[in-house]
Amino acid sequence: MKRTLILNVNGQEHEVEAESNRLLLQVLRDNLGLTGTKEGCGIGVCGACSVIVDGRLVSSCLTLAAGCQGKKIETIEGLAKDGKLHPLQQAFIEFGGFQCGACTPGQIMAAKALLDETPQPTEEEVKEWMAGNLCRCTGYYKILESVMAVVNNKIDPGFAFRKREQSAKIQSLDVYKAVAKTH
C-alpha cells in the first residue's frame, strides 16, 4: 500500500507517495530523480549506493525509505554548493580518483562521512573505512590519494574544473620518468 513520506534530502523537504517496502535507493532514484546514487550489488556489499543519513553512512539499497522520515539525508547531488565543488569532488578530479565513475558518488559520500567525523584520519584508517566501497577500475590508489589530498590540504586553491592542466603533482609522470632514467 502506498503512503505519503516526507523526506529531507540535501536540505529540502520532499513529499513522495511510495509503497511501504520501497528502499531509500529506489525513492531517491525513481521518485526524486536523484540518480547520482547507484545500485551496484543490491545487497549492501559494494557501497555504490552509499548516502549519509543523520551523519551516518548507510547503504541505501538496504534502508527503507519510510524509516528515513524526520532524518537528514545527504546524497552526492547535495555536495556542490553555489557552483563550487566540495573539496572531495575537486580532489577526485585533480588526482584522477575515478575512471568509469559508477562507484564514485558512493566513494565520495563514504569519504565525506569519514572526514565529517574524523577530519585527520591516517592512511590506514582511510583504507579500513573505504574497504566497503568497491571499485573495479582504479585499483584504489588514486581514490586514496584523492582522499588524502583533502586530509592534507593538498588540493589546488585556484582550481577550475574541466580540462585545465593541474598544478598539483604528487605522483607525476615526471617523477616516474626520473626513476626510469636513473638506471
Partner 1 sequence: MAKAEKFSVVGKRVQRFEGFDKVTGTSQFVADIQLPGELIGKVLRSPYPHARIRNIDTSRAEKLRGVRAVVTAEDTIKRPWGAFFADQYILSVGKARFVGEEVAAVAAIDPDIAEEAIDLIDIDWEPLPAVFDAEEAMKEGAPLVHDDKPNNITMTMDIERGNIAQAFAESDIVVEDTFTSMPQWHCSIETIGSVAEYAPGGKYTIYMNTQTLFNARYRIAAALGVPETDVRIIQSAVGGGFGGKSCDDNNALVAAVLAKKAGKPVKLINSREEEFLAGCRPRVFMKINVRLGFKKDGRIRAKHIKVIADNGAYSAKAPAITGVAAMRHDTCYKYTDVKTQAFLVYTNKIPTGAFRGFGNPSAEWAVEQAIDLGAHALGIDPIEIARINAAEAGYVSPHGNRVTSCELKQCLDMTEKMIDWKAKRANKAPNTGLGLACTVHVSGKRHFGDYDGSSATIKLNEDGKALILSGEGECGQGVHTAMCQIAAEELGVPVEDVEISRADTDLTTFCLGAFASRLTYVSGNAVKNAAANVKQQLHQQAAEMLEANAEDLASRDGRIFVKGAEGKAVTVADVARARLFRHNGAPIVGSGSFDADSVLPDSTRFGNESGAYNYGVQAAQVQVDPETGQVRILQFVIASDCGTVIYPLGAEGQVEGGLAQGIGFALTEGLQFDEGRPVNPNFSDYRIPSMRDMPLLQHAFADSYEPTGPFGAKGLGELNMDPTAAVISNAIFDAVGVRIKTLPITPEKILRGLREKKPS
Is 66 a residue that touches partner 1 (CB under 8 A)?
no
Helices (H), the chain: 24-26, 87-94, 104-117, 123-130, 141-151, 173-181
Task: Quote the cell numbers at residue 146.
Answer: 584523492
Is 100 a residue that touches partner 1 (CB under 8 A)?
yes
- Among 52, 73, 103, 148, the residue binding partner 1 under the rule CB under 8 A is 103
In the complex with partner 1, the residue whose CB is nearer, 68 or 144, is 144
In the complex with partner 1, the residue whose CB is nearer, 70 or 97, is 97
- Among 8, 10, 31, 99, the residue binding partner 1 under the rule CB under 8 A is 99
- Return the sign of the alpha-carbon dihedral for residues 132, 7, 72, 67: negative
Is 125 a residue that touches partner 1 (CB under 8 A)?
no
Q: Is residue 137 a contact partner of residue 79, using CB atoms and an 8 Å limit?
A: no
Which of the residues 138 through 157 are near partner 1 (CB under 8 A)?
138-144
- Among 5, 38, 63, 149, the residue binding partner 1 under the rule CB under 8 A is 38
The whole-angstrom separation of Cα 157 and Cα 170 is 16
Is 87 a residue that touches partner 1 (CB under 8 A)?
no
The whole-angstrom separation of Cα 37 and Cα 29 is 7
The length of the chain in residues reads: 183
Which of the residues 152 through 181 are near partner 1 (CB under 8 A)?
161-166, 169, 171-173, 176-177, 179-181
